[in-house]
C-alpha cells in the first residue's frame, strides 16, 4: 500500500489546501451555525455590526450627530423565529442637543430597525 493511500482523505485535503485552510473551513462549518443559533437565542455578543448600525442611524435620522456604536443590545431586540442576529447599541445627539440612545436590530432575512431606549 502506498503512502498516499495511507493518508486518507484528510491527508489529501491538507496536502492540497494546506493545514490552515482545513482548520479555517472546519471552524467556519462549526462556528457559523453555533453563532447563528446563539444569535437566534439572543446570546451572541460577538455579532454586532458597529459600522452598519451607525450608518443605519445616520440614514434614518440625518439630524443626529456624534453617532457611535456602544455595545451589544442584550434584550433590546426580538427573540424566536424573527430574532435579530445583530443587536448593536448606539448613542447619538439629536437636533436639540439631547443625547439619544437605542439599539439597531438587524437580521439575515429582514432589514434593520431602530429601537430607542
Residue 43 φ then ψ, to 5°: -125, 35
Q: Residue 2 — left, alpha, or beta (φ > 0 → left; ψ -120 to 50 → alpha)? A: beta
Q: What is the mean pLDDT of residues 81-109?
A: 87
Q: Which residues contact 47 (CB under 8 A, 6 or more apart)?
A: 35, 39, 85, 86
| 45-73 residue pLDDT tens | 556 778 889 999 999 999 999 999 998 88
Q: DSSP character for 2?
A: -
pLDDT at 99 over 90: yes
**Strand, helix or coil at 9?**
helix
Q: DSSP character for 35?
A: H
| d(C-alpha 44, C-alpha 85), whole Å | 8
Amino acid at each position: 500500500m502506498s503512502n498516499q493511500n495511507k493518508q486518507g482523505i484528510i491527508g489529501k485535503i491538507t496536502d492540497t489546501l494546506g493545514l490552515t485552510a482545513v482548520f479555517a473551513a472546519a471552524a467556519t462549518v462549526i462556528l457559523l451555525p453555533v453563532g447563528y443559533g446563539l444569535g437566534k437565542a439572543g446570546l451572541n455578543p460577538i455579532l454586532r455590526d458597529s459600522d452598519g448600525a451607525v450608518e443605519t442611524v445616520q440614514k434614518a435620522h440625518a439630524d443626529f450627530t456624534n453617532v457611535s456604536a456602544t455595545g451589544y443590545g442584550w434584550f433590546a431586540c426580538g427573540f424566536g423565529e424573527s430574532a435579530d442576529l445583530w443587536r448593536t447599541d448606539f448613542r447619538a445627539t439629536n437636533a436639540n442637543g439631547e443625547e439619544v440612545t437605542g439599539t439597531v436590530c438587524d437580521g439575515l432575512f429582514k432589514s434593520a430597525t431602530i429601537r430607542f431606549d
